[in-house]
Structure formats: C-alpha cells, structure tokens
Structure 1
Amino acid sequence: MGGLTADFDDRQAALYLAQGQAALQAGDAPAATAALTAARGHPVTRLEAHNLMERHQLPGAFSEWVGVNCEVSPQDDIFRFFAGHPTSVNPLRDYFADGWRTLSELMLLLESVQRPLLGAGSFLEFASGHGRFTRHLVKALGAERVTVSDVVPDAVAFARDTLGVPGFLSAARPEDVAWPRRYGVVFVLSLFSHLPRSSWGRWLARLVDAVEPGGLLVFTTHGTEAARRARVTLDAEGYFFAPSSESTAIDAQEYGTAFTDERFVQARMAELAGPVEVLRWAPMWFWHHQDAWVVRRR
C-alpha cells in the first residue's frame, strides 16, 4: 500500500479505514499503519483512524512526538473547531500544539507572580472540556495532582477514562456545584468569556470558594482588545454578550460569547464577600487574545 496520498474521496477513505481495522484484527501492524495513515489524511475518517493509531501505538502516532496520550474524543468541540477552521491545514497537529501552548502560557504567568506551576500541590481545571489542555497538564504535574470538572458528562468521563485524572460534574447553576475539596490552583480557561451577565459574578464567587487559603484562581476573559477586534460595543458596565459559541453541548443563552473590560471584572471582585487580592491582570495573555487574571485567596 505504498504511495498512498490524502487525495481521495469519502468512499476511498472509508475503504482505507476498513482495511486498517481488518489489518489490526489480523495482527498485521505494517498494513494497518499504511491504511490508517491514509484514512487519517481525509476529514471524514481522520479522527477514527487517528484514535486507532494511538490506541495501538502504530508508527506515526502523535504520542510518539507529543509525549502524552493523544486520543481525541469524537465529541470534542475544540477539535471540531480546528478541523473546520480555514487556516488549519493539519487539525490534529494544531489541536495538540494549542494545548501545549496553553500550558506554556500558564507556566509563564504563574512564574511572573512567583508561584511556579510545578509547586502546585493540587490543581483543579474547571470547565475542562475534553482534555485539549488536560493531557499536557498531566505530563507536567502527574495525574494524582490534577482534577477536572465540566458540565458535560462525556467530557468528564473521557478525562477520567482516557487521561487517568479524577473528575466531577459541574452544574448549570454555580450554587449547585459541590466542591470535593479546595485546591491550590483553580484554572478556568475561557469560561468567563462565555457567561451571561446573570451568572458572571455568581460563578466568580463560587470559584473563589474552591480555592484553598493562600491559593490561586486563574481565569481568562475577552477584554477590551478582543472586543475591538470583534467590533462589539461594551455597555456602560463594560460588558457585552451574544448567544453563540463553538459549543454544541450547552445552551447558547447560558454559554455564548462575552466581552468584559477591566472595570467590569474589578467591580465583580469588589462584590465578593471573601477576601481576595488580584496579583496580576495580563491583557491578551492566552492565545494573544484572552486577558488573564491571577487572584489570590487570602
């Protein structure tokens, strides 16, 4: 099966996938590698072929060079975002590289406030999704120090079963979330950039409660520059919301696209009953797009 290319139609892609599956059952790893590599090059069969290559550790599996578990959930909205993006010529590579970039940006952010990531005794990744970032975090900290939480049951199950981390379900209402414990670092990537005004401050208060005394809450927002790029106008409070997002699993009225300026976030901080201290506000920190906030619970 030498000389295979990605230039074939859906029917041919399905044939390569079937040939790869049959070769795996027959124990013929070289034939499986050739067929599944071809199937991985076509959008229709890309993810299924990729996951088969990862599970069987075939030559060319992404885990060979990424160094982490590289299975991807078929329900992963972020992977689908890359797969459908016009600038992404290699969605799998872009997906894994983006998770690693997030880890690098988080490590630099925590270093800037003298709280190195590797010193975190416990870490909660909240609104964790299907593991785009989690798999890299596990490589840095070990699964025993990482906990995930998401409102989508399949996302939590995937992280537990595939990435080996403990996890628990979140809830639509912040008041309904029960914390199993408090954590040294609570990381909330791109949740507040999706929240409606009615729940924005409530989620902030609830997440501060998940942080152990002296620990950190790190979260991101669409700030002033993101609003300018999107050509949206913030209201008098410094806020804007539109009921649309990349997620297909959550009601857009509860998880849309939100923009907030510094004044809005600081005002929500001032409303908190518990003592908190902003250690850093870093505009355009994550993905050169979302602002980062580092808050210490006194």
Structure 2
Amino acid sequence: MAVFDETMSPDDHMLTADLASYFQTARQGLTCVLDGLAAAGRSPESISTVLDFGSGYGRIYRALAAGFPQAQLTACDLMEPAARFCAETFGGDWARSSEVLDEIRLPRTYDLIWLGSVFTHLPAHRWVSLLDFLARATNAGGIVIFTTHGATAIEHIENRILARNPHMIAAERFAAMKRTLQLTGFDFIPNKPAAIRHQNDRGIKVSEGEYGFSFASEEWVARLVDRLPPWRLVKYAAPGWGRNHDAATIVRA
C-alpha cells in the first residue's frame, strides 16, 4: 500500500475518533478503488485522471494521490475550502460542488471517479440525476465507484450509531425504513431541519428534504444501473468500504 501524506486540516469534521482509525479508513478507500478497477479489468497505471467527488478535507483523496501518482487529480466538494485544501496539500486541482449539478464546473473528464458516502445521503431522484451527471463527467470506458448504505450499514447504524445517538433517527422511522426496504429496496430519511441548518453553517449547502440518509438493497442498485444505458455494473461488494458501506463499481460505455 502506497504511503500517503498525513497532513490534517483543523476543520476536518470527519476526524471523529483517533487518527489511526481515520487513516485506516483512507487505506480502506484506496483498497476499495483498486478492487473495483480489477473487477473492471483496468490497471492503476491505465488511469490518468481521477475525481474525488465529495472529497471533504481529503480523507480518501490523500490515499488516491498516493495510489495514482501518475494521474491528474481533482477534488470536488460542497465545502470550497475543503476541496481547495485537498488540491493545495496533496496535489491536483479542485472544483466547487453544488446541489444544482449543472452549476458544477469540472476542469476535465475522468477515467476514475470515487464517491465515498455521497449517494448515501440522497433521495432516489437525485441518484438518477447524479448518475446522469457522472456519465457526462466520465470518459468512455471510465469507472465510477460509489458507496451505499446496504445491509451492513443498517446493522452498523442500528447497533452502533443509534445506540450512542438515538435522536438522530427515531426508532419508529428506522423500523419503518427496514420494512420499506424489504418491499421496494430503497428508502430515504431526510435530515431534521436543525441538522440541515448545522450543515449549512459548516458550508455544506443543502436543501431541507434533499439531504439525509438513504438505504438501498443490492438488487435496487443493480436495477437502477441497468435502466441507465451508459452504465454497466461490474462489482457490488458488501461490505466494500470499511465495515459499514457497500460499494458499487460501474463502467461507462
């Protein structure tokens, strides 16, 4: 595994435990990407452009910079200072993300795009629009790897996160989500208004009702990808990133 830069931003809100755990998540992210490339029949050396969409302050970006030293990297995030920090600290360039996808101005198209914990916060209609956006941002034969809240995440959230913070999602709503997931394969629980205000204060500009927690079965993800002509699903790993995120690898025609 490539050695990556461990420089931290004091504003990195993803540092919720110790640094060792944070950097382990970074290594797991790179492993997830390399596994996805292998499933798609691509070598790391064949990748010349990489986008970390939802980069934050570089938890995975730093590992991508080390794992793809020959590639041109771009960090993109709703928090402009975070994307800028990635580019200035770990190399590459940056772009400001937006809830309105047509407002995003990326500097190029990409061979590889990583989205760690992005789809996990979006309602179903925004999965479709984001996949359409990614199709325009990906080169022919390019690869997108994104993480989801599948069965492993549900167990992790229920037994760990909600055990510590039961007010994040009401127990009744979480139970209803699990029933809906069995019936349809997807459900979305929007963040409470106070949480949206907190995110906006941090610079994560999102609208009420459009950001929260999404949960999707492997079958639902596969059906969605199959209905969108540019994409082909080549790998679904459960868990794929760490112990609590599934990971889907799709290839653009």
> Alignment partner for residue 214 of structure 2, among 251, 258, 279?
258
1:255, distance to aligned residue in structure 2 (A):
2.9
Could you say what secondary structure the match of 1:233 adopts?
helix
> Alignment partner for residue 76 of structure 1, among 12, 19, 28?
12
> Alignment partner for residue 130 of structure 1, among 39, 46, 57?
57
> Alignment partner for residue 240 of structure 1, among 180, 183, 187?
187
Larger strand proportion of the pair: 2
| Rg larger for | 1
Residues 188 and 110 of structure 1, relative CA distance in 2, 3 Å threshold: same
Q: Which residue of 2 aligns with 1:269?
A: 225
Could you say what secondary structure the match of 2:184 adopts?
coil
Q: Which residue of 2 aligns with 1:30?
A: none
1:171, distance to aligned residue in structure 2 (A):
0.8
1:144, distance to aligned residue in structure 2 (A):
4.9
Q: Which has the higher contact order (CA 8 A, sep 6+)?
A: 2
1:136, distance to aligned residue in structure 2 (A):
1.7
> Alignment partner for residue 27 of structure 2, among 95, 100, 105?
100
1:125, distance to aligned residue in structure 2 (A):
1.0
1:143, distance to aligned residue in structure 2 (A):
7.2
Residues 122 and 234 of structure 1, relative CA distance in 2, 3 Å threshold: farther
**1:192 matched to 2:119:** yes
1:152, distance to aligned residue in structure 2 (A):
0.9
Using the size of structure 1 for normalisation, the TM-score is 0.67
Could you say what secondary structure the match of 2:14 adopts?
helix
CA distance in 2, matches of 1:93, 1:225: 22
Q: Which residue of 2 aligns with 1:38?
A: none
Deviates more, 1:111-120 or 1:122-131: 111-120
Could you say what secondary structure the match of 1:268 adopts?
helix
CA distance in 2, matches of 1:193, 1:74: 25
> Alignment partner for residue 73 of structure 2, among 140, 146, 152?
146
**1:279 matched to 2:226:** no
| CA deviation map 1:43-84 (0-9, x unaligned) | xxxxxxxxxxxxxxxxxxxxxxx94332211221211x22xx
Residues 288 and 109 of structure 1, relative CA distance in 2, 3 Å threshold: farther
1:228, distance to aligned residue in structure 2 (A):
4.6
1:261, distance to aligned residue in structure 2 (A):
1.0
| CA deviation map 1:212-250 (0-9, x unaligned) | 011111111111342355364152432122234898333
CA distance in 2, matches of 1:215, 1:187: 11
| CA deviation map 1:113-142 (0-9, x unaligned) | 322233211111111110011112112222
| CA deviation map 1:161-184 (0-9, x unaligned) | 222221111111223323332111
CA distance in 1, matches of 2:48, 2:179: 39
Residues 288 and 93 of structure 1, relative CA distance in 2, 3 Å threshold: closer
CA distance in 1, matches of 2:224, 2:76: 23
Could you say what secondary structure the match of 2:120 adopts?
coil
1:275, distance to aligned residue in structure 2 (A):
2.5
Q: Which residue identity does 2:10 align to in structure 1?
A: P
Give runs of ≥4 in structure 1 deviating > 6 Å: none
| CA deviation map 1:180-202 (0-9, x unaligned) | 32111111111111112341211
| CA deviation map 1:259-290 (0-9, x unaligned) | 11123223322442x42211112221111321
**1:215 matched to 2:171:** no
Structure 1: gaps (5+ residues)? 1-65, 83-90
Could you say what secondary structure the match of 2:111 adopts?
strand
**Count of equivalent residues:** 223
CA contact (8 A) 1:234 1:240 kept: no
Deviates more, 1:124-133 or 1:245-254: 245-254
Using the size of structure 2 for normalisation, the TM-score is 0.78
Q: Which residue of 1 aligns with 2:92?
A: 165
Residues 144 and 121 of structure 1, relative CA distance in 2, 3 Å threshold: closer
> Percent of pairs identical after alignment?
27
